[in-house]
C-alpha cells in the first residue's frame, strides 16, 4: 500500500513543495513504513514557538515538532502516523547562514520528524 503525504503551508512560504514530498516519502521508506498517512505543516516562527510552549513547555522557536497519532491501521487499512510541524523561516535561515541546500535541510528534518513520531507513538 502506498504512503500518503499531506502538505499544508501558508501562501508565499517560499519553499519547494515537490522537494518536501520527495523527502517525506524517502523518510517513510527509510523507516520501512507502508500504508501511512503523514501530515506536514509549515508554520511561521510565532506559531512554532506557541506550539512548543503549549505542548513541550519550551520557549524557543523549534525547527521540527512531531505530534504522533497512531501506529495501527484503521478500517481503511491506513495508519495515521501523525503531524510533523516545520518552521519555514528556520529552513530559510539555515539555507542562508549555514549554507545548506533546501534539499539537505528537508531530507534531514523530515527524517527527524518521522523519527519523532515513531518514538512518541
Mean pLDDT along residues 84-112: 96
Q: What is the value of pTM for the model shown?
A: 0.94
Polymer length of the chain? 121
For residue 115, CA distances in Å to 1, 71, 75, 93 come to 20, 13, 25, 23
- Per the prediction, the chain carries an average pLDDT of 95
Confidence category of residue 56, pLDDT binned at 50, 70, 90: very high
Query: Could you read off the pLDDT of 15-52 as tens digits, one per residue?
Result: 999 999 999 999 999 999 999 999 999 999 999 999 99
Query: How many alpha carbons fall within 13 Å on the CB side of residue 56?
Result: 15
Confidence category of residue 12, pLDDT binned at 50, 70, 90: confident
List, edge to edge, every strand of the sheet that includes 4-8. 4-8, 36-43, 79-87, 64-68
Grid cell listed for 53: 510552549
Query: Could you read off the pLDDT of 59-78 as tens digits, one per residue?
Result: 999 999 999 998 888 999 99
The CATH code belonging to domain 4-120 is 3.40.390.30
Quick one: pLDDT at residue 84?
98
Quick one: pLDDT at residue 121?
52
Mean pLDDT along residues 8-20: 93
Q: So where are the chain's domains?
A: 4-120
- pLDDT of residue 120 exceeding 70, the answer is no
Beta-carbon contacts of 38 under 8 Å, excluding residues fewer than 6 positions away, are 3, 4, 5, 6, 24, 28, 81, 82, 84, 114, 117
Amino acid at each position: 500500500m502506498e504512503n500518503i503525504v499531506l502538505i499544508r503551508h501558508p501562501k508565499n512560504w517560499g519553499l519547494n513543495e515537490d522537494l518536501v514530498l520527495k523527502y517525506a516519502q524517502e523518510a517513510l521508506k527509510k523507516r520501512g513504513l507502508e500504508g501511512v498517512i503523514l501530515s506536514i505543516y509549515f508554520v511561521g516562527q510565532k506559531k512554532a514557538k506557541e506550539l512548543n510552549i503549549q505542548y513541550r513547555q519550551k520557549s524557543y522557536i523549534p525547527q521540527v515538532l512531531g505530534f504522533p497519532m497512531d501506529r495501527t491501521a484503521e478500517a481503511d487499512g491506513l495508519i495515521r502516523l501523525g503531524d510533523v510541524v516545520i518552521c519555514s523561516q528556520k529552513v530559510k535561515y539555515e539555507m542562508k547562514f549555514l549554507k545548506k541546500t533546501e534539499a539537505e535541510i528537508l531530507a534531514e528534518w523530515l527524517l527527524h520528524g518521522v523519527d519523532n513520531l515513531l518514538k512518541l507513538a
